[in-house]
Chain A
Amino acid sequence: MKSHRFDMVYLIVGSLAAWEVTSLLVGGTLTPPLETLARAGSLVVSKPFWIQAEATAHTLFFACAIVFGGGLAAGSLIGSSRLASDVVEPILTPMYAIPKIALYPIILLIFGLSPLATIVFAAIHGIFPVMIFTIAGLRKIKPIYVHTARVMRLTRFRTIVSVLLPAALPEIVAGLRVGFATTLFGALIAELFASTGGLGFMLIRATDNHNMTDVMAITVLLFVFAILANSLISRLEVHVRHSKL
């Protein structure tokens, strides 16, 4: 079979060319690729950018801690019981389809306009996918594992930690990947609507000032970050899948 190693490069170059042509056509309103990349480069070495990036990173770190810790704990408690899964699952799945942005005002009313509100809102986005994937992973485990754990008289906690979670690891890591992406989405959307800082805040301020170059540069940087994070977790996922017995 012929190698198509460069197809991806052609596709990227083609997209950049389309972007360049569009920006020429609309004349000035859309910043062309080179100028955007140059601005992104100068942003990355500027101090104000890192102050906002740090705020977003702060939100993302604590929200992910809640999402991964809470989602895994709740997911494994529910997933290890058949009845609990049957009760909870039909509530969890529609949560995914609800536009959770509409709930942000409630969070703001409860926590006030603070970093805590942003963290809680971002965590609400991420926790459901992590729970859904963990429950699905645990429900798929071969019954023989559970029987063996029972024969060995493991406590429920030991069964979850040493038998169920390792067996469901590929699904759990997939859940963490989706959970990370949705948490990032939640954090940015909260910052766009109302916040005290962060890259979303910087983006909406640039939009208000009609500063297209900054809007495009921040967007590109966010995309690059999301793609890098996603491929990193995907790698972990492949590794976990292959190392499974």
Chain B
Amino acid sequence: MARRGAFWIRTGLILVALAGLEIACRTGQLSRLSVIAPSEMVESAWKILASGQATPDLLFSLKNTALAATISIFVGFALGVALHFLPRLRQASDPMLAAYYAVPTFVLYPVLIILFGLGSASLVILGSLFGVVSMVVSTLIGLDSVSPALRDTAVAMRIGPVRSLFFIEVPAASLHLVGGVKLAIAYSIIGIVAGEFILSTNGIGKQIAFAYNDFNTPAMYGFLVLLLSFVIIVNLALQKFENSMHARWGI
């Protein structure tokens, strides 16, 4: 009951903030060069979508993000499994894994551009670098959380290590793995959009930066609305999936 109340208060607060911004913009309190009314932002986003002028850029970002997220998830899982079975290597690399997200990985982007050129390759590698370690860490935590009784059962049933990994340990660790997938996707998106924003030939991040440099405020907010809607929808879908997993496992 209290949660429902919180939901309505939250929705109300967001609506009031949007309405306030709308009124401030419509009455000319805010300069049109810096902020436009929320209704105009949505209108501009719709125009961009309907005209099809930005479709190549949207597809460019989508394709790179999908590729980077896939690489992060599979490479991260493989590395996590490898480290799980090599405790000595794991012990040595633990401090690096722990400090990984404290390091601004993004500053490697210029190095990547010089090595791989300006284009998809550098962006995908950057996005993968952002996402991969969260998947490694989640895989390790997940495999650690598997109860020894399950492993003993696998041994008693003479199930080989590979079958045991995929049919016993991975399902048992699936909650942590899904958490890792969620983070890997979020980080890949952040890495790729940031890369496009700083230096790129195409992509939604590039379009936002371009519209800003062009003083095209409506287009800038239009692309921004598209980007934020995409991120929020992806996040909500993943959150829903995670919740359904929690419900299935009775947690």
Binding site for B on A (CB under 8 A): 4, 7-8, 10-11, 26, 29-30, 82-83, 86-88, 90-91, 94, 96-99, 101-106, 108-110, 177-178, 180-181, 184-185, 188-189, 192-193, 200, 203-204, 206-207, 210, 212, 215-216, 218-219, 222-223, 226-227, 229-231, 234
Contact = CB atoms under 8 A, between A and B. Distances in A.
Interface of B: 2-3, 5-6, 9-10, 13-14, 33-35, 88-89, 91-93, 95-96, 98-99, 101-104, 106-108, 110-111, 113-115, 186, 189-190, 193-194, 197-199, 205, 208-209, 211-212, 217, 220, 224, 227-228, 231-232, 235
A192 B194 CA distance: 10
A102 B197 contact: yes
A243 B231 CA distance: 41
Contacts of B92: 4, 7-8, 10-11
Contacts of A234: 98
A5 B199 CA distance: 42
A29 B110 CA distance: 12
A86 B212 contact: no
A87 B12 CA distance: 10
19 contacts: A30-B111, A86-B6, A87-B10, A91-B10, A97-B186, A98-B228, A102-B205, A109-B212, A181-B101, A184-B104, A188-B104, A193-B198, A204-B110, A204-B198, A219-B108, A222-B104, A226-B99, A226-B102, A227-B102
A212 B102 contact: no
A206 B106 contact: no
Contacts of B96: 11
B101 A207 contact: no
Contact of B103 (A29, A215, A227): A227
Nearest to A99: B193
Contacts of A103: 224
Contacts of A193: 197-198, 209
A178 B100 CA distance: 11
Contact of B13 (A87, A97, A206): A87
Contacts of B220: 105
A99 B198 contact: no
A56 B9 CA distance: 40
Nearest to B88: A4
Contacts of A178: 101
A7 B190 contact: no
Nearest to B189: A99
A185 B104 contact: yes
A26 B111 CA distance: 13
A29 B209 contact: no
Contact of A87 (B9, B89, B98, B227): B9
A40 to B, nearest CB: 13
B228 A106 contact: no
